[in-house]
């Protein structure tokens, strides 16, 4: 999936979803094709599908231009549309949901607090053990 957006400086960016195994990501790319940020997650299935967001990074010189907000909002909107529960292990996602969690839930989203087991899932994924 690719979604074109404009950040608050007026420049065009594209957010691409790369569903890979074991680690998937949303990547924000400038019009010239340069990637400038990513939000990484591991998708799990069980009683319900979940996305454990564990790492988000945007080029420091561009972070103040709203790129982090675009990444987070795109990931959360997709999760709501796809009926996926968000697990905010990443501090950026955790902070966003701490502030805007009620709104996210009111719009049909679902999230749960991370557990120590979630850290194990991320560790196994990073080591290629999934």
The edge-to-edge listing of strands for the beta sheet with 85-88 is: 2-6, 12-18, 24-30, 35-44, 50-58, 85-88, 110-111
pLDDT of residue 31: 84
Residues 24 and 40: beta-carbon distance below 8 Å: yes
Model pTM score: 0.87
**Which conformational region is residue 27 in: left (phi greater than 0), alpha (psi within -120 to 50 degrees), or beta?**
beta
Q: What is the pLDDT along the chain (130 residues), one digit of tens a residue?
A: 444 544 445 668 899 999 988 999 999 998 888 899 999 999 998 778 999 999 999 887 655 558 888 899 999 999 999 999 999 999 999 999 999 999 999 999 999 999 999 999 999 999 988 7
Q: Alpha-carbon distance 111 to 119, whole Å?
A: 16
Give the Cα separation of 92 and 5 in Å (integer): 20
């Amino acid at each position: 999936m690719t979604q074109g957006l404009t950040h608050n400086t007026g420049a065009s960016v594209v957010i691409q979803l790369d569903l890979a195994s074991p680690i998937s990501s949303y990547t924000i790319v400038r019009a010239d094709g340069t990637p400038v940020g990513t939000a990484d997650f591991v998708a799990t299935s069980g009683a319900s599908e979940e996305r454990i967001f564990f790492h988000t990074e945007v080029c420091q010189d561009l972070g103040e231009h709203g790129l982090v907000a675009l990444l987070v909002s795109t990931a959360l909107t997709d999760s709501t549309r796809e009926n996926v529960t968000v697990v905010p292990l990443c501090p950026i996602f955790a902070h966003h949901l701490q502030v805007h969690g009620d709104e996210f839930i009111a719009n049909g989203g679902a999230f749960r607090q991370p557990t120590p087991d979630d850290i194990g899932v991320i560790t196994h994924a990073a080591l290629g053990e999934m």
